[in-house]
Chains A and B, each alone.
Chain A
């Protein structure tokens, strides 16, 4: 108790954490490793987005208007960007269910954790399905290719397929990851290992990161 009071705070605390020859971050090693993986992933997505910025600045051809390219018509006039808006809300919903799953995991409520993780994975799969629909519409109906599109600069297609494809791949991997962990929560795998459910939080970190990347893609590619 007195030790906690004496612990240095602020910058001195950081120095102390790194210098005391113990685990630095005070978190389970799996969580520290996931954070470091996500940091590296941040740089990968940043490189894609900066590359997109660079080619968009450098091209002399007009940039296609995403608001019109991603518009969708339900019988009437096309509504701008509506499919992307729905996909965004699906991903946010899945982030919420994931946050609740993590909380229920720490409460050792296995049933609720399992179903919330399954719901998260189902929403993620829905997102990927809608993305497949979006890609099909773009390729088949609008003639967008990585090297050409009739609406403007060719770089639009290449950066779009690269960035959203890599993000969609992350979502797909996340769906599989969540289902594997959810199944282990259900069948009591972690009960045999001391009943620790930090693994749900670690899987949650990955899932929230996928949502985080979408926030940046939504703002920088679809809205800019």
Chain B
């Protein structure tokens, strides 16, 4: 529990979190070799949230703070879910109107040049 002296925790917790971040990031990188699809997307998002939670709760000590601070800081970002929903809805609508009015893309992509 946090005391007047601040956040003082055993070093072991940080070492475990550090190693966990390395392992999870390794998995994240490995996910780039997966086939595109729902499974790959889920793996990417799951690893992202696990790493984010580890950083916020252990490294940033949010897990040991008062519930009042947790609610005040972690609560508002939930509203972003609404923005994501609105903007994806809008995005698909814009895509549909573009196809309807301008037709499908005529862009001919070139291969990535490597030197």
Which residues does A use to contact B, with CB under 8 Å? Answer: 9-11, 13-14, 17-18, 24-28, 32, 35-36, 38-39, 42-43, 46-47, 50-51, 53-62, 64-65, 67-69, 71, 73, 78, 80-81, 85, 88-89, 92, 95-96, 98-100, 102-103, 106-107, 141-143, 150-153, 197-198, 201, 204-205, 208-209, 211-212, 215-216, 218-220, 222-224
**20 examples of A-B residue contacts, CB within 8 angstroms:** A17-B68, A25-B65, A38-B73, A46-B83, A54-B88, A54-B91, A55-B91, A59-B95, A62-B107, A64-B109, A68-B112, A88-B29, A89-B22, A99-B18, A100-B14, A106-B8, A142-B112, A219-B44, A219-B47, A222-B32
Contacts of B22 on A, CB cut-off 8 Å? 89, 92
**How far, in angstroms, from A9 to B68 measured CA to CA in the complex?**
10
* 5 A-B pairs closest in CB distance: A57-B91, A17-B68, A219-B48, A58-B94, A96-B18
Contacts of A53 on B, CB cut-off 8 Å? 84, 87-88, 91
Question: Chain B 80-115 against A: per-residue CB contact (8 Å), 1 yes, 0 no?
Answer: 100110011011101100110010110101111111
User: Residue on B with the closest CB to A77?
Assistant: B114
Question: Chain B 1-38 against A: per-residue CB contact (8 Å), 1 yes, 0 no?
Answer: 01001111101001001100110010011011100000
A224–B44 touching, CB < 8 Å? yes
**How far, in angstroms, from A47 to B90 measured CA to CA in the complex?**
15
Instruction: Name the interface size band of chain B.
Output: 35 or more
Instruction: Give chain B interface residues in 70-84, CB to chain A under 8 Å.
Output: 71-73, 76-77, 80, 83-84
Number of A-B contacts (CB under 8 A): 193
Contacts of B18 on A, CB cut-off 8 Å? 92, 95-96, 99
User: Residue on A with the closest CB to B62?
Assistant: A35
**How far, in angstroms, from A35 to B68 measured CA to CA in the complex?**
13
A27–B2 touching, CB < 8 Å? yes
